[in-house]
Amino acid sequence: MNNPVRPADPDAIREAAGLLRAGALVAFPTETVYGLGACALDIRAVGRIFAAKGRPPDNPLIIHVSCLDDITPEVASVPEVAKQLAARWWPGPLTLVMPRGPRVPDIVTAGLATVAVRVPAHPVALELLRAVGAPVAAPSANRSGRPSPTQAQHVADDLGDRVAMILDGGATQVGIESTVLDVTSDRPMILRRGSVTLADLESCLGVGAVDSVNIHKDREAARRSPGLRHRHYAPTASVTLCQPKTAEALASEALRRGEIVAVLIRGEVGQTTLCLPERLDKERTNRVLMPHAAIDYARELFGCLRALDRLGAGALFIEEVPRDGLGGPIMDRLERAAEGSGQPR
């Protein structure tokens, strides 16, 4: 099997654009995570995304464009608040849900009357989109349910020859998916939390101007956002969330059962990088020090979960992080990773 990973140089980007125009799948870096792209107006190509990922068809996709002007054919109208937000956050990790334009296929929106659009803040993604000259539908480039990919090798590990090319642009900078904001009503609503936080949005629109959906209670609202209706972010290892300073005690029982155990603990102030063992000891609890600041924690999270899978961890005990600011989106991911495996404590 040929290695689909290519350094994201100009020749590879031009070739990738040609592959997309021909209906193939191309994975590419964004500032958030790697995306699995297909031409958004090509129904058969978009269908290959769902097949490659094992993605349920009721899960809508995000359309990526290179600038605000490019969204006009894909949306029925652009609300004034969307223009205001785009002026502040595009290119960037903010997806806007707007009224769907007539040429967007049902398969992209899961049959909804809305469409999710964003302009990514990554030079490779922007150059690729300009070279394609058409909107590109792109969910995260991983098998559905797995931790999102933040490096090209993560994509190769999950998708292999299901993708024609993987453009390697290095590790992503944000590390978690974009914030998804529905702007189809008078009061914009956060459908998926990300690095653009409620406080960030309120600094642009005004305090109290933005609402946030509880995805566990409002399933109909959550349906409008990509990546909320099904299990996500889960490593092979079981995941149990713990209150701070309790992880090691809770892990002892799993260790007695003979599982390979790791605990993820937030490091001290000033620690900005992940501290991960080169191998896991079967006889004791393995400590993994996560970065202290939420921005660094988010950047390392999915790569850490994937690395622990590769090292053979069977049970992960993860200390909760404070939910203020970016900590809220991090906890969203951790809680969904824990669903169906370990139970929050």
Q: What is the pLDDT of residue 169?
A: 98
pLDDT of residue 225: 67
Specify the CATH number of the domain 5-222: 3.90.870.10
Q: What would the two tokens of residue 345 be?
A: 């404590």
Full strand arrangement of the beta sheet holding 261-266: 238-242, 315-319, 261-266, 286-290
Q: What is the pLDDT of residue 339?
A: 87
Q: Is 21 in contact with 161 (CB distance < 8 Å)?
A: no
Asked if omega into 29 is within 30° of 0 (cis), the reply is no
Residue 308 phi/psi, 5-degree rounding, is -70, -35
Strand 26-29 to 94-99 pairing: unpaired
Q: Does residue 65 sit in helix, strand or coil?
A: coil
pTM for the model: 0.94
Q: Which residues in the chain land under pLDDT 50?
A: 342-345
* DSSP H or E stretch at residue 112: none
Q: Is the dihedral of CA 240, 245, 250, 255 positive or negative?
A: positive
pLDDT score of 29: 98
Among residues 191, 253, 180, the alpha carbon closest in space to that of 219 is found at: 191
User: What kind and span of H or E run contains 199?
Assistant: helix 198-205
Closest CA to 168 of 3, 20, 302: 3
Polymer length in residues for the chain: 345
Q: Which residues pair with 136 in a beta bridge?
A: 39, 64
pLDDT score, position 335: 94
β-pair type (26-29, 34-39): antiparallel
The 10 Å Cβ neighbour count of residue 223 is 17
Taking the alpha carbons of 135, 136, 139, 144 in that order, is the dihedral positive or negative?
A: positive
Q: Checking phi first, is residue 110 left (phi over 0); if not, alpha (psi -120 to 50) or beta?
A: left
73-85 CB burial, b ≥16 within 10 A, e <16: ebbeebbebbeeb
Q: What is the largest CA-CA distance in the chain?
A: 60
Structure tokens at 167: 């453009």
Asked if the domains 5-222 and 238-338 are classified in one and the same CATH topology, the answer is no
Cα-Cα-Cα-Cα dihedral sign, residues 322, 324, 325, 331: positive
pLDDT at 144: 93
Rounded CA-CA distance 323/316 in Å is 20
Query: Measured between alpha carbons, how far is 55 from 132 in angstroms, rounded to an integer?
Result: 24
DSSP strands (E only) in the chain: 5-7, 26-29, 34-39, 62-64, 94-99, 114-118, 136-137, 165-168, 179-182, 189-192, 211-212, 238-242, 261-266, 286-290, 315-319
Domain range annotation of the chain: 5-222, 238-338
Q: Tell me if residue 251 falls in helix, strand or coil.
A: helix
Task: Give the CATH superfamily of 238-338.
Answer: Threonylcarbamoyl-AMP synthase, C-terminal domain (3.40.50.11030)
